[in-house]
């Protein structure tokens, strides 16, 4: 039972760590996007004026937002294994000598287990 709890605890710890790093990554990406926006604003405003800079940056963010919305509406790739129907695969044919060796090993294992005086 403790192995199950340790496994769940380790997965929860890993999920929390991943979420923390993802959050920090998003924060840094947002800061970088802010600096890039400011730089683009300065560049466009210097050459064309403030009104064109507003329109250009607004249009850029609108197009990016619509692209991400379109990507979010598309269904994902393959469904998880639990949702897919199990495909019945025929058992692989083994060489006759491999089958004999496996049977011999299984018999040896059973003989050793029968002789083992564990009580």
Report the predicted TM-score, pTM, of the whole model to 2 decimal places: 0.51
Q: How far apart are CA 87 and CA 85, in angstroms?
A: 6
Cα–Cα–Cα angle for 62, 39, 50, nearest 5°? Answer: 70
One digit per residue, the tens of pLDDT, for the chain of length 119 reads: 566 677 788 888 888 898 889 889 889 999 999 999 999 999 999 999 999 999 999 999 999 888 888 888 877 666 666 666 666 666 667 788 788 888 888 888 888 888 877 65
Q: Which residues, 6 or more positions from 23, have their beta carbon under 8 angstroms from its beta carbon? A: none
The helix or strand, by DSSP H or E, that contains position 74, with its residue range, turns out to be none
Domain boundaries along the sequence of the chain: 1-74
């Amino acid at each position: 039972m403790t192995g199950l709890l340790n496994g769940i605890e380790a997965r929860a710890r890993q999920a929390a760590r991943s979420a923390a790093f993802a959050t920090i990554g998003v924060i840094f990406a947002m800061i970088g996007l802010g600096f890039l926006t400011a730089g683009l604003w300065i560049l466009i405003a210097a050459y064309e004026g403030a009104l064109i800079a507003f329109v250009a940056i607004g249009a850029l963010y609108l197009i990016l937002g619509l692209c991400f919305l379109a990507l979010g509406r598309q269904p994902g790739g393959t469904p998880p294994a639990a949702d897919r129907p199990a495909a019945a695969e025929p058992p692989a044919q083994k060489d006759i000598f491999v089958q004999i060796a496996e049977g011999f090993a299984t018999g040896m294992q059973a003989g050793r287990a029968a002789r083992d005086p564990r009580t």
